[in-house]
Chains A and B, each alone.
Chain A
């Protein structure tokens, strides 16, 4: 489809008239098959972007388009079928009394027939590795399991875009890994667009593209490699960089010239290996 993208055109937003702007004249495009990570320190406006994308909030200025359709009060039901969201707190988005009921909730809202629901509950729970938990009650699940159910609930409605709004922030490292793995598998299988709003640097290095937000503006839009090459500037706006980036910077200071910014251990090691053999 030609219009498969989310587009922000000169979007400005504030919560109340007498409050400062949270987003200032923000424009960007996210196309339907990519993974975009949005980073920025707390209060940089990144969560607001997520809520604007599926009509939980409306901008005071500018327009937002999802697949060519302008997000407005009239179109939000269509938009919300296309854009699924997973939030931060695993408990506060679990609506059903059991896993099965929770996965069904979104489908019920969209008026899907019961037979389709039964089928989708099975396939989406399988996609996140939670089959066999249908009858479980939420308070018997771990945080990571609840988040996987939340992802299954979103998948069941079969959206084009999935937004993870700090969905791993409250999980332990094991739960975080599980979720990331789940999401990547799902994205690949179903050809989805993924927007992750995150503090997790490991997650950021794996994305196709990174948007760095600062004080309500898009500070930088680039590949992870490019973003992390600007270590000093990132620190100035309160963002951390991965260990490997820091090490690469110190290596440069120690007189080792690297051909490119390494994103993971292997890239740096390969480069060091080559360098040593040529020295």
Chain B
């Protein structure tokens, strides 16, 4: 689904001493099927932004469109339920939302709230559990007997079972070990392609933004600070550093190569092995200077 923010502002507790402008005149759009990374420090407005995507909050000013759904300041949307079925949100530490006696019931919770038929739910539950790489034997276990990483996968399966068109991920790998982080991100990348989802990823990891996203939005104090393709955005090292954000390590390193060895290797998503080959040529002096 296409997503458009049109001059969206959001203010917490307006006209009170605690008034706080979380989003200020935010405008951007991306088309169906994009993988968008939203980056910014704590307090930059990221979590307020994603709450607009399934109508958990309404813009104080401006309008948000998600496919054919519209959220407009001051107007009540009567189709919130439908919208929430179409937009699945994986919150930070999603394992905290588990509550059912069995994994199966917890995964089925979302779809049954949206009135999906029983047979259909069974099918979806199976698909979802295998999508998150857990075995079907787990379905009858209590989610509270699982390890932290497994609980997170169950919670994600619960969102996938809603069969959403848009998947919103709020730091889905926070607190996992590096291996778990990579597994989860690879899983989302695969689902994104397979199910032709529109994915919005909130992350602190520049590497994830570089590796998985095709569009990056950097927020600062509730405003869009930078926006564009990852490779373009990460070229602007100074601009990023001035808001205390890093560039991905590989780009940082290639910049240093250019400075010390005076050789430019531009990054176009090469693997480490490919980079090593290019670098080896530089060192051996056999690199063509066309």
Contact = CB atoms under 8 A, between A and B. Distances in A.
Interface of A: 41-43, 88, 142-143, 169-170, 172-175, 199, 201, 238-240, 243-244, 246-247, 250-251, 253-256, 265-266, 269, 272-273, 275-276, 279
Contacts of A169: 175
A275 B283 contact: yes
B246 interface: yes
B279 interface: yes
A265 B253 contact: yes
Contacts of B244: 174
Given A243-B272, A269-B261, 16 more contacts: A42-B147, A42-B180, A88-B175, A169-B175, A172-B41, A172-B42, A174-B42, A175-B42, A201-B178, A243-B253, A244-B253, A247-B275, A255-B280, A256-B284, A265-B256, A272-B257
Contacts of B149: 42
Contact of B261 (A250, A265, A273): A273
Contacts of B147: 42-43
A170 B276 contact: no
A170 B257 contact: no
B150 to A, nearest CB: 11
B252 interface: yes
Contacts of B260: 269, 272-273
A42 B41 contact: no
Nearest to A143: B42
Contacts of B276: 247, 250-251, 253-254, 256
B272 A247 contact: yes
Contacts, number: 92
Contacts of B256: 265-266, 269
Interface in B249-265: 249-250, 252-253, 256-257, 260-261
B119 interface: no
Contacts of A254: 273, 276-277, 279-280
Interface in B115-142: none
B283 A256 contact: yes
B22 to A, nearest CB: 16
A243 B247 CA distance: 14
A240 B253 contact: no
A169 B276 CA distance: 31
10 contacts: A239-B178, A240-B178, A240-B179, A244-B253, A254-B273, A254-B277, A256-B284, A265-B252, A269-B257, A276-B283
A269 B255 CA distance: 11
Contacts of A265: 252-253, 256
A240 B249 CA distance: 15
Contact of A199 (B148, B177, B252, B275): B177
B282 interface: yes
Given A42-B148, A169-B175, A173-B204, A251 B280 contact: yes
B207 to A, nearest CB: 9
A246 B177 contact: no
A254 B283 CA distance: 11
B174 interface: yes
Contacts of A276: 261, 282-285
A246 B276 CA distance: 9
B280 A256 contact: yes
Pick from A199, A254, A275 the residue with the most CB of B within 10 Å: A254
A250 B284 contact: no
A256 B244 CA distance: 35
A276 B279 CA distance: 11
Counting from the closest, the 4 A-B pairs by CB-CB distance are A250-B276, A254-B280, A240-B178, A172-B204
A253 B147 CA distance: 38
Contacts of B177: 41-42, 199
B206 to A, nearest CB: 8
A173 to B, nearest CB: 5
Q: Which residue of B205, B257, B283 has the most chain A CB atoms within 10 A of its CB atom?
A: B283
Nearest to B40: A172
Contact of B284 (A201, A244, A279): A279
